Amino acid sequence: MFINWRLREINLKIVYYGPSLSGKTTSLQYIHSRTNPERRGELVSLKTREDRTLYFDYMQFEMGAISGLKPRFNIYTVPGQVYYRGTRKLVLKGVDGLVFVADSQIRRLHENVEAIKDLYEDLVELGFSPGELPIVLQCNKRDLPEIMPVQSIKEQLGLNGIPTFESVALEGIGVLDGLKSIVNSVVTKARGNIN
Amino acid sequence: MSKGLHIPEELLDKIEYILDHLAEKARTDCILLADISGQLISVQGFMEEGTPAIVAALAAGDVAAMAELSSRIGESDPHGSFFHEGETKSIYLHNISGSFILIVIFRTETPIGLVRLFAKRAVEQLVPLTKEFEQVMGPPKTYNPDEFSKGITQELEDTFPTN
């Protein structure tokens, strides 16, 4: 969180995290397409030649002033592939809230579990306490066959009790619900820190 | 973990004075100051192309990657700098204490040595100021926490309008 009292702006950082090909970039592309054009910045993607996320995807959107403060959100995705762990940790610096995008397919369970383990290890190394950060679970690819029940995904990932949304990112289903939830959680936490 | 970064106005005045001086001496087009996570703090000058917020986010990624690369060869300088030379414009990045980034955009007619010299002097002046950033200042008089939380719901509807 960064507050600029002169401009009356509060800057908040949200990161979409999850295993490779779980739908993080697709979610961000949908969010960008649905954001009021007057309130959004450009969508930036640093990709490999194979069109996979190399470093991160990034967009910014802002809201109107509320109670004298203008919220501005910086949204990032991380590259999901195992060997980009170092990059993921760098993108997590200064994060205010997380959306964990899980791949609902049964055969991707292992990748989901490895990703959440990496996430927690990185957060601890960055100085966060467990449970300190607002987090939302987005169970993606709910339209595919052979998917796990949402409750099983939550249990396997140790994410019981956190807000959870079923999504089909390619069609935009459930994506904005997850984003709005994390925005509300982040703002609630930021509100406590401003006081 | 820090509660976040709060920058009071008087500190911003001092920062802008330093950036203005750097711009004048080094004949730069645009200077940005960002924190290490990519949050834009201050802009001096004008970017003909591009958006300062995006440049800050990308520079943070670049600096973080370069710091990691340096550590892999046994270097751990928290004030490392590097630059990209373009055909008409170049970018100079300077890591400030591992917490902030100075981003200088200048035309290729301007010698890199000049930019490097005055940027280093600016960083020396910025280091003590950036240490004061964590100081928490009071919220604006208009700020009402309940109103702020309630207002978000309406603002979300305006930001993501239903078709």
In this structure, what CATH number is given to the domain that contains residue B27?
3.30.450.30
Q: What domain count does chain B have?
A: 1
* Residue B41 resides in a domain: yes
Contact A183 B1 (CB under 8 A): no
What is the distance in angstroms between the Cα of A90 and the nearest Cα belonging to chain B? 7
Rounded to whole angstroms, what are the CA distances from A3 to B30, B43, B132, B137, B143?
22, 15, 14, 10, 13
What is the distance in angstroms between the Cα of A163 and the nearest Cα belonging to chain B? 17
Provide the domain limits for residue B152: 9-159
Q: Is a pLDDT exceeding 70 seen at residue A195?
A: no
* Residue B85 resides in a domain: yes
* Residue B96 resides in a domain: yes
Residues of A in contact with B56 (CB under 8 A): none
Cβ–Cβ contact B130 with A under 8 A: no
Q: Which of residues 3-22 of B touch A (CB under 8 A)?
A: 3-9, 12
* Residue B141 resides in a domain: yes
Residues of A in contact with B12 (CB under 8 A): 4, 6
Q: Is a pLDDT exceeding 90 seen at residue A73?
A: yes
- Which residues, listed in sequence order, are joined to residue A105 by a DSSP beta bridge? A147
- Dump pLDDT digits (tens) for B66-115: 877 788 888 876 678 888 999 999 999 999 988 889 999 999 999 999 99
Q: Report pLDDT for B44.
A: 92
* Residue B1 resides in a domain: no
* Residue B3 resides in a domain: no
Architecture of domain A2-194: 3-Layer(aba) Sandwich (3.40)
Highest mean pLDDT among A37-51, A143-157, B24-38, B118-132: A143-157
A154 or B38, greater pLDDT: A154
Q: Is a pLDDT exceeding 80 seen at residue B119?
A: yes
Q: Please state, in angstroms and rounded to a whole number, the distance separating the CA atoms of residues A57 and A76.
A: 5
ipTM score assigned to the predicted complex = 0.80
Domain boundaries, chain A: 2-194
Measure CB to CB from residue B54 to each of A3, A41, A87 and give the nearest one: A41
Phi, psi of A104 (to 5 degrees): -75, -10
Given a contact cutoff of 8 angstroms between Cβ atoms, the answer to whether B149 and A188 are in contact is: yes
What's the rounded mean pLDDT across residues A95-117?
96
**Per-residue DSSP letters for chain A?**
-EEETTTTEEEEEEEEE-STTSSHHHHHHHHHHHS-GGGB---EEEE-TTS-EEEEEEEEEE---BTTBEEEEEEEE---SGGGHHHHHHHHTT--EEEEEEE-BGGGHHHHHHHHHHHHHHHHHTTPPTT-S-EEEEEE-TTSSSB--HHHHHHHHT-TTS-EEE-BGGGTBTHHHHHHHHHHHHHHHHHHHH-
- Band (pLDDT 50/70/90 cuts) for residue A97 is very high
Gyration radius from chain B CA atoms: 18
- Band (pLDDT 50/70/90 cuts) for residue B2 is very low
Mutation for testing the A interface, residue in B33, B159, B162, B163 having most A CBs under 10 Å: B159
Given a contact cutoff of 8 angstroms between Cβ atoms, the answer to whether A175 and A181 are in contact is: no
B75 or A19, greater pLDDT: A19
Q: Is a pLDDT exceeding 80 seen at residue A83?
A: no
- Band (pLDDT 50/70/90 cuts) for residue A46 is confident
Q: Report pLDDT for B136.
A: 45
* Residue B2 resides in a domain: no
Mutation for testing the B interface, residue in A74, A83, A87, A184 having most B CBs under 10 Å: A74
B118 or A65, greater pLDDT: B118
Highest mean pLDDT among A88-97, A149-158, B6-15, B133-142: A149-158
Q: Report pLDDT for B9.
A: 79
- Band (pLDDT 50/70/90 cuts) for residue B153 is confident
What's the rounded mean pLDDT across residues A167-184?
96
What's the rounded mean pLDDT across residues A186-191?
84
Mutation for testing the B interface, residue in A47, A180, A194 having most B CBs under 10 Å: A194
What's the rounded mean pLDDT across residues A73-101?
87
Given a contact cutoff of 8 angstroms between Cβ atoms, the answer to whether A116 and A139 are in contact is: no
Contact A63 B159 (CB under 8 A): yes
Q: Pick the range with the lowest mean pLDDT from A12-21, A85-94, A176-185.
A: A85-94
Cβ–Cβ contact B78 with A under 8 A: no
